[in-house]
Amino acid sequence: MNSKKFSNKEGWHRVIVRNTDKDVALKWLDDMNIVAHWQDFNNDYFDEDLNTIQFIFRESEDSDLTCATSFAKLFSLYDEVRSYDI
């Protein structure tokens, strides 16, 4: 895992995952010992396949862009990671 240090700036990364993949995604994070937070996201659709959850990765030694990118390649809708500065 790649560790990043930021002097005055922190950030976070968001990965959107289908709700149907949540259990497998959570197990992968647990197996890889990666800390990420999740919450419902766009879960107001009638079609369950369109319901999504978002996983939030905070930049730190335990969870950085490398973790989010690896996770997105396996579970995201479009292999996409969105990054935000705090």
Q: Is residue 31 part of a domain?
A: yes
Residue 66, domain extent:
18-85
This model's pTM is above 0.85: no
β-pairing verdict for 52-58 and 11-18: antiparallel
Q: Is residue 4 part of a domain?
A: no
Q: Is residue 12 part of a domain?
A: no
Exposed, middle or buried by CB within 10 Å (0-12, 13-18, 19+), for 68? buried
Tell which residue, 13, 10, 9, 8, has the closest CA to residue 66: 13
Please give the tally of structural domains in the chain: 1
Residues constituting the chain? 86
Q: Is residue 13 part of a domain?
A: no
Q: Is residue 3 part of a domain?
A: no
Q: What is the pLDDT along the chain (86 residues), one digit of tens a residue?
A: 343 443 335 789 999 999 899 999 999 999 998 889 999 888 777 676 678 999 999 876 655 688 899 999 999 978 899 999 86
Q: Is residue 8 part of a domain?
A: no
Q: Is residue 29 part of a domain?
A: yes
Q: How far is it, in rounded angstroms, from Cα 34 to Cα 28?
A: 9
Q: Is residue 59 part of a domain?
A: yes
β-pairing verdict for 11-18 and 82-85: antiparallel
